[in-house]
Amino acid sequence: MTFVIPAAAPVSVPVLSATVGQSFPVRRIYCVGRNYAEHAIEMGFTGREAPFFFMKPADAVLVVPPNTTGRMHYPTLTKNLHYEAELVVAIGMGGRNIRAADALQHVWGYAVGLDMTRRDLQTEMKQQGRPWCIAKGFDESAPIGPVVPAAQCTWSANSRIELAVNGVTRQSSTLGHMIWSVAEVIEHLSAAWILAPGDLIYTGTPENVGAVAVGDVLTASIAGVGDLAVSIVEGVAS
Ligand code: MN
């Protein structure tokens, strides 16, 4: 086949494993909205609703290799860039109408991610009943650490999910506070879309989201999965 324009390079995320140089190829990025009750409440909702989803383009990932600090350019058009620390599920086996009881067999691994959000634009889009794309799906909006194979992850409902800005803890919860568990998220998601290998699912953030500025360093961690560091820098994503 001959492409008439240069084909985009495949998007991939490094894998943390004994074999050096392995990567997880990214197909789609799904995100769960308001999946922790206290975060739903801070966003003005009750914390009791069926899961809902939005997407980011695959190339919105900002790959942060192990033991490095990623560099995210402060995005255009916003004055209120927010962090959201999230557990990311990496799908290894696809399917549709997957039952929660079978769902974890479809998971290849997990990662720590940030669902970066232009909160001012999100608020505006909500008020106008418009799509969230510009608030959620922009370039570099999905920083992610290495994908850790599921068998190497030791997270449980008691595992802490935390985010600090310049060393000061801002978000601190446990994965057990998710309203919809990983398995239930996969069940709901696969009823709406056919899941395929390479899909990432950002599973939602706990309470105390907040704004960051150029120069800030974000560190997110999930016990039993790993950690992620990102600095906010001036300039334009490319
Ligand atoms: Mn989120």
Mean pLDDT on 86-113? 98
Instruction: Quickly state the pLDDT bin for 17 (edges 50, 70, 90).
Output: confident
Summarize the chain as % helix, strand, coil (round to 5).
Answer: 20, 35, 45
pLDDT of residue 20: 81
Do β-strands 226-233 and 69-73 pair in parallel, antiparallel, or remain unpaired? parallel
Ligand 1 centre from 172 Cα, in Å? 15
Ligand 1 centre from 202 Cα, in Å? 7
CA nearest neighbour of 61 among 138, 118, 7, 2: 138
Ligand 1 centre from 236 Cα, in Å? 23
How far is it, in rounded angstroms, from Cα 23 to Cα 44?
Answer: 39
pLDDT tens-place string over residues 18-54: 788 899 999 999 999 999 999 889 988 887 788 999 9
Give the type of residue at 155. Answer: W
Ligand 1 centre from 30 Cα, in Å? 10
pLDDT tens-place string over residues 165-203: 999 999 999 999 999 999 999 999 999 999 999 999 999
pLDDT of residue 203: 98
CA distances from 207 to 33, 53, 170 (A): 12, 18, 9
Q: Considering just the CA atoms, what is the radius of gyration of the chain in Å? A: 17
pLDDT of residue 81: 98
CA nearest neighbour of 181 among 55, 46, 32: 32
CA nearest neighbour of 25 among 37, 10, 38: 10
pLDDT of residue 175: 98
